[in-house]
Amino acid sequence: MGALLVFMACGSTPTGLVDATERGDLGAVQRLLDDGADVNERDARGRTAVTAAALGDRVDIARVLIDAGADVDLQDSDRNNPLLVSGETGSVAMLREVLRAEPNLGATNRYGGIAIIPASDRGHVELVRALLQTDIDVNHVNNLGWTALLEAVILGDGGKAHTEIVRMLLAGGADRSIADREGVTALEHARERGYTEMVRLLE
């Protein structure tokens, strides 16, 4: 019911723009926009077409929607928006399109995390690299009490990708002294897990 209210509150009449995007039908998306569809219309989940494009990694459609003025900061009932979705999928191509629209880098997902946190825990090296070239807060703490650095260690596998992310985060200003809610630092987590190279970077 809440998501439906979000949809109704936006005031637009549904034209199927979100559905066309989810199908990957670029032609239908363009026709709907040409016929006057609201580029920011929402479906019953409060989801916009540009968020649907990010979820399906449909970069060509996202480009058309953003060029048509799509608001990339609007979030659906799951708190997804294109920037946050890019952090989860690791799509650098999608991120580049989203950055053209100057998104709110401080937008948080349902866990209170910003885009660089899921990107770090999932091992999306190139996405983290691209985000570090923006003004994103590398030391943001989510609802679990974790930063991107902590998540890269705690939820990572200690392999090459997560180790490179730890290196990049530190170079990008990550504060290694920030501990989790139990007072355990990223270094201590790395030692406990036997992540030798991470330990070396964090010491």
Give the predicted TM-score (pTM) of the model: 0.91
Same domain, 75 and 158: no
134 lies in the same domain as 39: no
Question: Are residue 94 and residue 2 in the same domain, yes or no?
Answer: yes
Kindly report, residue by residue over 142-151, the tens digit of the pLDDT: 999 999 999 9
Residue 169 has pLDDT above 60, yes or no: yes
Are residue 80 and residue 169 in the same domain, yes or no?
Answer: no
Please report which confidence band the pLDDT of residue 12 belongs to, taking 50, 70 and 90 as the band edges: low
Same domain for 83 and 57: yes
Domain hosting residue 183, numbered range = 113-203
pLDDT category of residue 13 using cuts at 50, 70 and 90: low
Q: Residue 11: is its pLDDT beyond 70?
A: no
CA–CA distance, 109 with 111 (Å, rounded to integer): 5
* Domain termination residue (choose one: 79, 104, 129): 104
Is residue 99 within 8 Å of residue 69, measured between CB atoms? Answer: no
Identify the band that residue 168 occupies on the pLDDT scale cut at 50, 70 and 90. very high
Distances (CA, A) of 191 to 123, 127, 160, 195: 19, 26, 16, 6
- On the question of pLDDT at 14 being above 80, the answer is no
CATH number where 181 lies: 1.25.40.20
- Tokens matching residue 181: 């809610």
User: Which position has the token pair 């997804």?
Assistant: 80
